[in-house]
Structure 1
């Protein structure tokens, strides 16, 4: 792996066009940009780092995964070939695929890098949760919808203490299975049940802010190009999404905790 990483222009409102450079020790980053990341994460609960990982590295990971899916007789040439998986819901498929698909060794390279980023942002060490997880969603399962999704949080703490990175292993377009995130929901004082969340959010639209409990919320979709990374507060409400696109959705997620 290269000793130098480039964090390309951040495609977020309010960010200036800037390029940050980090060597393998994470020592040459612009501290002002870390402050911006921290501020946006605090406000929205989610922040995007565009083209954070080099495409040539992500390409190798994607190729390895495609070979593994073919070997397992699950997916090939943009077609699902596993009858067993076809009979499962797309949410069940995600769980099953994460268990049976062997992870490319190269995915392990990023756990230390993400940990360094967190240390630079917060000046505190976060502990990595043992292993990253694959998030794979097979294509064209059904029509894309916001109805009856699996909205949840990964941390019920009232305090900030856990973070999650999402790495896009391939390009993900709108309605292509990208995880759905309720931006700003970590500020909610009252947690809702799954049925309450579905009743509320099934009536909303993507990327259209709305007011709830005196907070500004917005449903966003984790889309982008290969190598993009999202950083999310694990108190944020989110859900797997239906993949209505013609190709598999490929992401990996890394979790970090202040206390174990």
Structure 2
């Protein structure tokens, strides 16, 4: 059993699609240079090294949110969320979409001095579970620089959007909470597992600069630890019907 993240025909089953090499090197370089320039201006990096140990020690969500606020919106980043990308997302959604905010959120994380793990992650949605089994919207994640495995990429639980509707009593959160193996041996889910007849798998949105991941907003996702020496550099925006 395999989960193919690169096949648009599998999007309805997986809830996530990897668009490899979707953006040009020129456009992502402009965005990357803009972010790095601002990080240097803020005295957060110099010579390729992170200068703020205080920021490095913050929990995942807090560090990412703090860096996003400090760097602020960047025109070069917003330009990555192009009409071509919107058209591709509308084809997947089967309807017109509108961005939830005018500027993309920049997702940065510095290296954490800890082991990489999928234990005790904050699996969540950014909206209430819709009552109907229909796509409410999509979220795009753009890789502005190369993101190595275990390099802080957002994690998604492919297939989890389908779990919301297999029981009248529980959505995906409730179903997974009752599974002892998901709590005690979550690394097992780095490979496809069948839950309530539905294949699910933890996937990392890692890859090369210019890759884009498109995700059904009903898919459970979580931040992850960056154990590499690189700055995790991504951006995201949500689009609703």
With normalisation by structure 2, the TM-score equals 0.84
Aligned to 2:210: 227
Alignment gaps of 5+ in structure 2: 166-170
Question: Would you say 1:150 and 2:115 are equivalent positions?
Answer: no
Write out per-residue CA displacement over residues 58-83 of structure 1, whole angstroms, 9 at most, x where no aligned residue.
11211111111111122333432124
Q: Distance in 2 between matches of 1:94 and 1:106?
A: 19
C-alpha displacement of 1:112: 4.2
Superposed, which structure 2 residues align to 1:230-245 within 5 Å? 230-245=213-228
1:161 to 133, 136, 150: 136
Unaligned 5+ runs, structure 1? 1-11, 16-35
The CA RMSD measured in Å over matched residues stands at 2.5
Q: For the Cα contact (< 8 Å) 1:90–1:138, is it kept in 2? A: no
Change (3 A) 1:121 1:238: closer
Q: With a CA cutoff of 8 Å and minimum separation of 6, indicate the structure with the bigger relative contact order.
A: 2
Distance 2:5 2:104 in 1: 31
SS at match of 1:61: helix
Please give the alpha-carbon distance, in whole angstroms, between the structure 2 residues aligned to 1:122 and 1:246.
Answer: 36
Residue 110 (structure 2) aligned to one of 130, 138, 148: 138
Q: Secondary structure at the match of 2:88?
A: helix
Distance (whole Å) between structure 2 residues aligned to residue 108 and residue 53 of structure 1: 13
The answer as to whether partners of 2:5 and 2:18 remain within 8 angstroms in 1 is no
Q: 1:93 to 1:214 in 2, by over 3 A?
A: same
Aligned to 1:119: 90
CA shift in 2, pair 1:229/1:94, >3 Å: same
- Matches of residues 1-260 of structure 1 in structure 2 within 5 Å? 13=4, 37=8, 39-113=9-83, 114-130=85-101, 131-155=103-127, 156-158=129-131, 159-188=134-163, 189=165, 190-192=171-173, 196=177, 200=182, 203-205=185-187, 207-258=190-241
Given that 1:78 and 1:248 are in contact with CA atoms closer than 8 Å, whether structure 2 keeps it comes out as no
Alignment: residue pair count: 226
Distance 1:172 1:120 in 2: 27
Range with bigger deviation, 217-226 or 76-85: 76-85
- Contact 1:149/1:198, CA 8 A, preserved across alignment: no
Is the alpha carbon distance of 1:253 and 1:201 closer, same or farther for their aligned partners in structure 2, counting shifts above 3 Å? farther
Alignment partners' CA distance in 1, 2:214 and 2:106: 16
Any idea what SS the aligned residue of 1:64 has? Answer: helix
Shift of the 220–197 alpha-carbon distance from structure 1 to 2, 3 Å rule, reads: farther
Distance in 2 between residues matched to 1:112 and 1:97, nearest whole Å: 24
